[in-house]
Every structure is written in C-alpha cells, then in structure tokens.
C-alpha cells in the first residue's frame, strides 16, 4: 500500500516546506525527552491523511504504556505495531530493513520510536542509517524516526544524506527546533531554527517575529567577507566581496534583506563578532540572512550558541566545500530569523564561560561545582555527567594515572571504585572523542561501562555529601571564581633505586 496524500509532522503553524515528509527515506528527529517524543508521535499520527496505513516501530519495554493512545490516534484499523526485542540490541537494528520487508510494511508510512541508548551499541551509526535510508528510498517509504534521550543526536557525517535531520531541544519555558536539513517536494531546507511551545498537549510554532516596518529599506544586499571565499569566485554578480573592516559592517547596515557572510578563524574573534552581529540584527530585523563560515575548526558548542543567539542564521563548519556553501546559501533564501535575541552577547558569554577549575575534586566539592554549573547554564549548553565503574583489578590510583583533564570546567571525582566525570560544554555526538582525548588508554580498558547521568540528582548525593574519602592524587588547580580544589597530598607510588649493570667487553675473534 502506497502513501496517500501529504504526510507532515503536524506541528501547529509549521510551514509546509518544513513540515512535509519526502516520498521516502529517514526523517531523523532527535528529542531530548521521551515524553516530548510521545507528544510528537501522537500529533504525527493524528495528522495523517484519512485511511493512511502506518506502522509503529517500538522497542520492547519502551513506550508500551502509550500504545493504546497511539493506535487510537491513527485512522481506524490503519495502525499496525512492529516490536523490536530488547534482547537483540544492535542485531535487531541491523536486521530491521530485512524484517520490514518480510513483514510487508514497506510502502506504508513508518513511525519509529527509538531510545537513544540503543544507538550506543551500534558500531557505526552513520553506516547503519545510510543503509536503512537506501532501502526506504527504493521502496518510496517515508520514516519519521523520533530518537529520544541523551545521545540521540545524529552524526554530523549524515548532513545532506538523509531525507530529514532535525533536533528538538527543551529550554526553560519553550523549545528550540533546529532543522539541519529537510528535503521534500518543495526542495531542500537547512539552517532553520524555530521556537516551539507546548500548549494543551500539542507542539506549535511560537508567534513569528515580524520585520520592523519603520526600518524597511527597499532592495537587498549580498555581502561576503573576502576571506570567507577562500580564493573562489563570487556566487554571482549580485554579490559584493569586501575585506573585514569597520566599512564592512557599515555596508552591512545598509541592508534590510539579503545575505551577510563573515569568516571566523579562531576563538578569540567570537566576542567581537557576536557583538557586531547582535548590533546588525537589532538594527536590520529578522529578514537579513547572516552566515558565519568557520575557516578552521575552532568553535566550541558554547561559542556557536553565542553566535546563533546573537543573530546568526547558520554556522558553516570548517571543511565545507565551495559548492556545498553555495547550496546552503541557496537554501536560506527568504528565511526569517526566529530565535529569541538576547539583550547583550556578553551576558550569554559570561553564563557559558566554564569555571576556572579543573581536575580531581573531593566528593563534596564535585557535587557543589556540578550543581552550580548546571544551575547557571540553565540548559543553554550541553554538558556530560558520567559514571564510570573501574575494571576489576584496577585501583583508583592506576585509573587516575591514565586520565588527563586539560580543559577548564572538566571535573572528576573518585569514590567507591568508580570515576565520576563532568565534561563542560560537551555535545552528545562528541562524547566518544572527548573520552579518547581524556584517557591515555582506550576508556574501555579502564572502565567496565560508561553511564550517562541525566543530572546531578542522579548522583548518590547522600554518599557524596557525607563522604570522608579524599582524593588520592594531586589535582590541577586553576584559581578562579568557583574556588580552589581541596589541597591534597600526593602519594609516592614508586621510589627510584640506583642499580649497576655489568659491562663486558666483547673482542672479535
């Protein structure tokens, strides 16, 4: 049975070009919370065309309590259930394309509720997703994959290769919906960020910010910093290339609509660049498309967030080809900037700045610092709180000897044969790389597992607060606002002993 009519996400007030699913392939939507994924699933099912057949794929033991509501939400008799065994883990995902074909559900609309924890067992997430996407494209079968939980963010290598890539991040009183790529009959959309609200059990787009009618200027400008071209020709005669200077920003202030493309080469430029973009956005309104091109890999997550909240529509990562850049710019035609604009970028930069402390902490100090960081960042930047039980036979001293925390805000605590790590400003898709940088040996050789904790409430707080265990080795100390780590006495694990080696002369015969 083929799909009938247009299939959409059914998010209220979301424009059709951002809501419609393509005729086939994976539309991966990463969601922080399972409850939000269930709301999106209900809206999707309720918004399907009449008599549209749909198969709901779920993991055994997950989301089962909402199955009756999901079945009722679809057309009568049109929702079939497809359960993955929780015992099979990755093997179940690996066999999914063949199982879908065997169950004769290809050709229907597919809704996949997938816990992010399942992906941790997949050796190569990108390869698995691309293989499944090829099967779905050949069968003209659209799949909405709601991947919920920490670690559900898709690999960067999938950009432009699946039918849809989007993220829903929960904030204090609203949600941020980021579209990294969305392809349907209306073309390819990328680089959109919208504010969503959850009202009466439904997600919808917050009221649009309109252009300031008092500052509208006719015509448009297309201005690009010369360095951002990397020696390549201008996209067309309508573009103007200019070196970065005060005159560049004055030229940009003359545009109400159009494009402004700037370059960033190192972290030290972020503060001034954010202030200029913030001023430009405040003066020219939501109709101007502002793009930042990274000339070399230098931006951390919190610095990207500062630029985006200052008024940037899209950050183009280092290594993007000139052809891909032109494609991205073309997809941004007519885009309005929807993010809530901060009062001043310096305020956000202060909130996202890591504390000037790192390394090994006592349990009480570790808990105090983690509580303070999570409260001050208020969801504006992603951190990782990890519980890492030691491998049998290893001591805490041996474990700590293989760990090196270089970045400010990266903290550790050793207690009860377990290493607790807090990694400041670490995205879900960067966790493996972060552990590789921190551990001198493969982390799997040091720890039996890596458990991601949802927050400081998931720590054994009572044990931390009353622990009498002091750190067993010396810690790095950076004096700063969060206070100094406790002074510890380093242990001498080995004592050098001089020895003499006999020297025997060998004469050739």
Residue among 344, 349, 368, 337 at smallest CA distance from 485: 368
pLDDT at 77: 54
Residue 178's SS3 state is strand
Angle at 354 (CA atoms; ends 348, 357), nearest 5 degrees: 155
For 142, other C-beta atoms within 10 Å of its C-beta total: 24
pLDDT at 470: 52
What is the gyration radius of the CA atoms in the chain, in angstroms? 26
Mean pLDDT by 10 residues, the chain (509 residues): 73 91 93 92 88 86 72 68 74 83 85 88 87 92 91 72 89 80 80 84 75 38 90 79 89 85 89 92 89 87 85 92 85 80 74 81 93 77 90 90 86 93 85 88 92 90 79 42 38 57 61
> Which stretches within 378-509 are classed as H helix?
396-400, 431-438, 443-446, 461-465
pLDDT at 211: 31
- The structural domains of the chain, with segments of one domain joined by +, span 16-205, 213-349, 354-465
Residues 6+ apart with CB under 8 A from 309: 339, 340, 341, 342, 345, 348
Residue 229's SS3 state is helix
CA–CA dist 227, 168 (Å, integer): 33
258: left (phi over 0), alpha (psi -120 to 50) or beta: left
pLDDT at 104: 82
Under CATH, what is the fold of the domain 213-349?
A: Rossmann fold (3.40.50)
C-alpha distances (whole Å) from 357 to each of 280, 303, 361, 373 are 35, 19, 10, 11
pLDDT at 275: 92
Angle at 352 (CA atoms; ends 244, 355), nearest 5 degrees: 120
CA–CA dist 109, 106 (Å, integer): 8
Residue among 377, 428, 437 at smallest CA distance from 403: 437
CA–CA dist 81, 113 (Å, integer): 11
Residue 373's SS3 state is helix
Residue among 297, 40, 22 at smallest CA distance from 164: 22
Angle at 325 (CA atoms; ends 323, 329), nearest 5 degrees: 120
- H/E/C letters for each residue in 56-125? EEEECCCCHHHHHHHHHHCCCCCEEEEEECCCCCHHHHHCHHHHHHHCCCECEEEEEEEEHHHHHHCCCH
Q: Which residue has the tokens 């303070």?
A: 372
Q: What is the crossing angle of helices 345-352 and 363-377, to 10°?
A: 160
pLDDT at 369: 93
Quote the tokens at residue 456.
């400081």
Under CATH, what is the fold of the domain 16-205?
A: Rossmann fold (3.40.50)
Model confidence pTM above 0.75: no
Do 305 and 378 contact (CB within 8 A), yes or no? Answer: no
Domains 16-205 and 213-349 share a fold: yes
């Amino acid at each position: 049975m083929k799909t009938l009519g247009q299939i959409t996400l059914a998010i209220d007030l979301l424009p059709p070009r951002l809501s419609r699913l393509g005729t086939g392939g994976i539309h991966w939507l990463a969601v922080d919370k399972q409850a939000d994924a269930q709301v999106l699933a209900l809206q999707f099912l309720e918004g399907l065309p009449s008599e549209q057949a749909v198969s709901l794929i779920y993991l055994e033991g997950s989301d089962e309590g909402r199955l009756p509501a999901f079945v009722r939400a679809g057309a009568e008799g049109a929702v079939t259930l497809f359960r993955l065994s929780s015992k099979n883990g990755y093997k179940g995902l690996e066999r999914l394309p063949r199982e879908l074909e065997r169950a004769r559900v290809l050709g229907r609309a597919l809704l996949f509720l997938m816990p992010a924890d399942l992906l941790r067992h997949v050796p190569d997430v990108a390869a698995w997703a691309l293989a499944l996407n090829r099967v779905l494209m050949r069968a003209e079968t659209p799949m909405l994959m709601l991947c919920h939980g920490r670690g559900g963010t898709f690999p960067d290598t999938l950009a432009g290769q699946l039918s849809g890539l989007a993220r829903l991040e929960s904030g204090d009183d609203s949600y941020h919906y980021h579209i990294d790529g969305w392809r349907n009959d209306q073309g390819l959309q990328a680089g959109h960020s919208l504010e969503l609200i959850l009202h009466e059990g439904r997600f919808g787009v917050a009221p649009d910010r309109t252009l300031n009618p008092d500052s509208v200027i006719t015509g448009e400008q297309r201005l690009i910093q010369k360095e951002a071209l990397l020696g390549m020709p201008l996209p067309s005669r309508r573009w103007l290339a200019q070196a970065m200077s005060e005159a560049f920003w004055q030229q940009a202030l003359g545009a109400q609509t159009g494009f402004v493309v700037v370059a960033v080469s190192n972290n030290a430029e972020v503060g001034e660049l954010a202030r200029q973009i913030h001023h430009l956005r405040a003066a020219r309104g939501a109709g101007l498309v502002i793009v930042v091109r990274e000339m070399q890999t230098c931006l951390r997550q919190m610095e990207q967030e500062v630029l985006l909240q200052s008024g940037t529509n899209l950050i183009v990562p280092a290594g993007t080809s000139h052809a891909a850049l032109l494609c991205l710019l073309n997809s941004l035609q007519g885009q309005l900037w929807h993010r809530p604009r901060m009062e001043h970028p310096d305020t956000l930069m202060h909130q996202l700045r890591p504390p000037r402390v790192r390394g090994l902490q006592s349990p009480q100090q570790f808990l105090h610092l983690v509580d303070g960081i999570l409260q001050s960042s208020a969801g504006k930047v992603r951190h990782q709180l990890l519980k890492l039980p030691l491998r049998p036979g290893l001591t805490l001293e041996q474990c700590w000897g293989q760990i090196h925390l270089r970045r400010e805000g990266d903290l550790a605590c050793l207690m009860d044969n377990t290493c607790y790590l807090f990694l400041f400003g670490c995205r879900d898709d960067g966790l493996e790389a972060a552990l590789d940088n921190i551990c001198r040996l493969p982390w799997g050789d040091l720890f039996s597992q890596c458990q991601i904790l949802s927050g400081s409430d998931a720590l054994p707080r009572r044990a931390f607060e009353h622990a009498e265990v002091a750190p067993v080795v010396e810690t790095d100390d950076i004096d700063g606002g969060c206070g100094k780590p406790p002074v510890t006495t380093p242990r001498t694990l080995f004592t050098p002993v001089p020895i003499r080696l006999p020297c025997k002369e060998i004469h050739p015969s």
